């Protein structure tokens, strides 16, 4: 039998964001946007951090339900464990007035219960406080003496030296005072949300800032269907609040934007591009840029990942760890294109083989062409800091780095298909339509990063090989894209 809850802690938080979100989530789950691989990975990352934090309070009993829908099992087990005098319980479930919550860790001492909510973020925010407030409301109203309620989160200043030190990795901050202040608010809000759920029609809520704040809603595909292509929401570099100001005035399509709405040069260019099919090709400026680079050329791209828990010596939580590169090499304009690539084995510190291998491939001379040089340069500087042994050799690379993004960032070349962006993901299909990221399993840096992170918990060699292959293909396309883009620019002369 499934538990008879009307609200849960997570639906309560959805209801704080938007009534329609709450209602659709309870009644029309079929309208939810499919969960991207990235969201799934972030979710499982949260679970892993939660499990690790349990070790701060060892010896507890796990009261998780056998399946996510069987919370009644977990409520019953929690009650039994408390009756038996257990001092530490993980995933303890409680229900009061049909509002259900699972507490990550509860600990009992002589003075009462302490509740710990584990978050994989690096600070405490308003959502965490609301989360704690509803948790406190449920547990204290059931008659348990709650002495304290805290958020356990990741201390991003922790530098790993040797074995993982959980007491330094996690920060624990009491939010009892804020949770207490919110008790009347929770009582009223629970009653209000129950009324929303009793309605027999979907609440009428227009789209707004609440669709992404505090979290992107899962019903965007459903609620935003009326927004056409080339709308104000496509304007690059404009704050979402400003876009909604236009939307609320009924200005939705780019063609409806009045002249006096304070657009910057790039935004105006984007709009003129769409409305007048305006293209810019400043051959003079492009030639000047091309004169700053010369063969031999190494077209280079790195991928990195950001594990929340530092896995390697001398690294911090969420530090970007480079694990892969692709290099296309051309000795002269007419010479044959050569390719080099590397991906680290996930069970070792990737930085060491990555940099050793890269330094060998890049040799001592030749321009190093990247797209958005601040990314590659920052990663190299971090390796200099963390692995001083390679610092001198890395230092010699910096003068050789040239940024192919520059002609697009400075709008020496602009076409309406770029939608105001100079990201390679927009530039490539415009200049080299025959090369495309479409249909690639991994098609952006974020997915590449989470895919690599997923390798750490896999033991299926076939799956590991498959993901590594997809990562290599993705990174290879990034550098091949640079080669082809440069050829197009050279062809304009």
Stretches 215-223, 290-298, 308-316, 385-393: which one binds ligand SF4 (CB under 6 A)?
A: 215-223
CB 24, min distance to ligand SF4, A: 6
Residue (9 or 14) nearer to ligand SF4, CB: 14
| Rounded-to-integer distance, Cα 417 and Cα 229, Å | 12
Verify binding: residue 219, ligand SF4, rule CB under 6 A: yes
Let me know: does 216 contact 14? Beta carbons within 8 Å.
no
With CA atoms as reference, report the closest residue to 20 among 6, 31, 5.
31
Residue (20 or 114) nearer to ligand SF4, CB: 20
Exposed/middle/buried for residue 434 (C-beta within 10 Å: 0-12, 13-18, 19+): exposed
CB 376, min distance to ligand SF4, A: 37
CB 325, min distance to ligand SF4, A: 39
| Rounded-to-integer distance, Cα 121 and Cα 101, Å | 20
Of the candidates 220, 401, 443, 472, which one interacts with ligand SF4 according to CB under 6 A?
220
| Rounded-to-integer distance, Cα 255 and Cα 239, Å | 19
Residue (223 or 394) nearer to ligand SF4, CB: 223
CB 64, min distance to ligand SF4, A: 29
Verify binding: residue 13, ligand SF4, rule CB under 6 A: no
Of the candidates 7, 13, 16, 18, which one interacts with ligand SF4 according to CB under 6 A?
18
Residues 194-213 interacting with ligand SF4 (rule: CB under 6 A): 205, 207, 210-211
Of the candidates 9, 20, 243, 379, which one interacts with ligand SF4 according to CB under 6 A?
20
Residue (205 or 377) nearer to ligand SF4, CB: 205
Residue (217 or 442) nearer to ligand SF4, CB: 217
Of the candidates 217, 235, 482, 483, which one interacts with ligand SF4 according to CB under 6 A?
217
Verify binding: residue 16, ligand SF4, rule CB under 6 A: no
Exposed/middle/buried for residue 64 (C-beta within 10 Å: 0-12, 13-18, 19+): middle
With CA atoms as reference, report the closest residue to 371 among 287, 452, 444, 302.
302
Verify binding: residue 106, ligand SF4, rule CB under 6 A: no
Of the candidates 9, 21, 160, 182, which one interacts with ligand SF4 according to CB under 6 A?
21
What residues contact residue 31 under an 8 Å CB cut-off, 6+ apart?
Answer: 24, 219, 221, 222
Q: Give the count of residues interacting with ligand SF4 (CB under 6 A).
A: 13
Residue (7 or 115) nearer to ligand SF4, CB: 7
Residue (214 or 296) nearer to ligand SF4, CB: 214
CB 35, min distance to ligand SF4, A: 15
Helix axes 461-491 and 283-291, enclosed angle (nearest 10): 120
| Rounded-to-integer distance, Cα 239 and Cα 227, Å | 17
Residues in contact with ligand SF4 by the rule CB under 6 A: 17-18, 20-21, 24, 205, 207, 210-211, 217, 219-220, 223
């Amino acid at each position: 039998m499934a538990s008879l809850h009307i609200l849960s802690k997570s639906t309560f938080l959805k209801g704080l964001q938007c009534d329609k979100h709450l209602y659709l989530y309870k009644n029309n789950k079929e309208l939810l946007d499919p969960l991207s691989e990235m969201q799934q990975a972030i979710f499982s990352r949260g679970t892993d951090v939660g499990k690790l934090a349990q070790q701060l309070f060892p010896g507890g009993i796990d009261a998780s339900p056998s399946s996510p829908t069987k919370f009644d099992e977990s409520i019953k087990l929690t009650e039994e464990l408390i009756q038996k005098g257990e001092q530490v319980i993980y995933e303890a479930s409680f229900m009061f007035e049909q509002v259900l919550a699972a507490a990550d860790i509860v600990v009992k001492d002589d003075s009462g219960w302490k509740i710990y909510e584990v978050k994989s973020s690096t600070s405490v925010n308003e959502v965490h406080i609301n989360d704690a407030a509803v948790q406190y409301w449920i547990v204290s109203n059931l008659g348990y003496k709650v002495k304290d309620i805290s958020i356990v989160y990741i201390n991003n200043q922790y530098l790993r030296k040797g074995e993982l030190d959980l007491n330094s990795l996690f920060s624990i901050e009491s939010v009892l005072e804020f949770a207490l202040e919110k008790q009347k608010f929770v009582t009223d809000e629970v009653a209000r949300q129950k009324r929303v759920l009793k309605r027999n029609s979907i609440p009428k809520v227009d789209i707004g800032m609440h669709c992404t704040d505090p979290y992107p809603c899962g019903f965007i595909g459903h609620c935003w269907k009326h927004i056409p292509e080339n709308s104000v929401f496509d304007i690059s570099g404009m704050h979402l609040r400003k876009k909604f100001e236009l939307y609320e005035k009924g200005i939705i399509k780019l063609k409806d934007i009045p002249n006096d709405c304070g657009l910057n040069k790039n935004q105006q260019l984007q709009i003129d591009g769409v409305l007048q099919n305006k293209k810019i090709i400043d051959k003079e400026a492009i030639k000047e840029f091309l004169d700053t680079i010369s063969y031999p050329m190494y077209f280079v791209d790195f991928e990195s990942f950001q594990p929340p828990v530092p896995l390697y010596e001398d690294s911090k939580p969420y530090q970007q760890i480079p694990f892969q590169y692709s290099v296309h090499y051309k000795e002269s304009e007419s010479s044959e294109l050569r390719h080099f690539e590397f991906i680290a084995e996930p069970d070792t510190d990737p930085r060491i083989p990555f940099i050793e291998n890269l330094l060998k491939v890049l040799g001592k001379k030749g321009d190093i062409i990247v797209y958005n040089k601040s990314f590659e340069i920052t990663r190299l500087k971090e390796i200099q800091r963390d692995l001083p042994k390679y610092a001198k050799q890395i230092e010699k690379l910096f003068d050789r780095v040239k940024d192919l993004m520059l002609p697009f960032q400075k709008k020496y070349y602009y076409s309406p298909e770029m939608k105001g962006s100079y990201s390679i993901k927009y530039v490539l299909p415009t200049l080299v339509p025959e090369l495309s990221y479409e249909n690639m399993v991994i098609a952006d840096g974020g997915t590449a990063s989470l895919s690599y992170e997923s390798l750490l918990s896999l033991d299926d060699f076939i799956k590991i090989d498959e993901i590594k292959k997809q990562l290599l293909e993705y990174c290879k396309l990034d550098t091949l894209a640079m080669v082809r883009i440069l050829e197009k620019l050279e062809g304009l002369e």
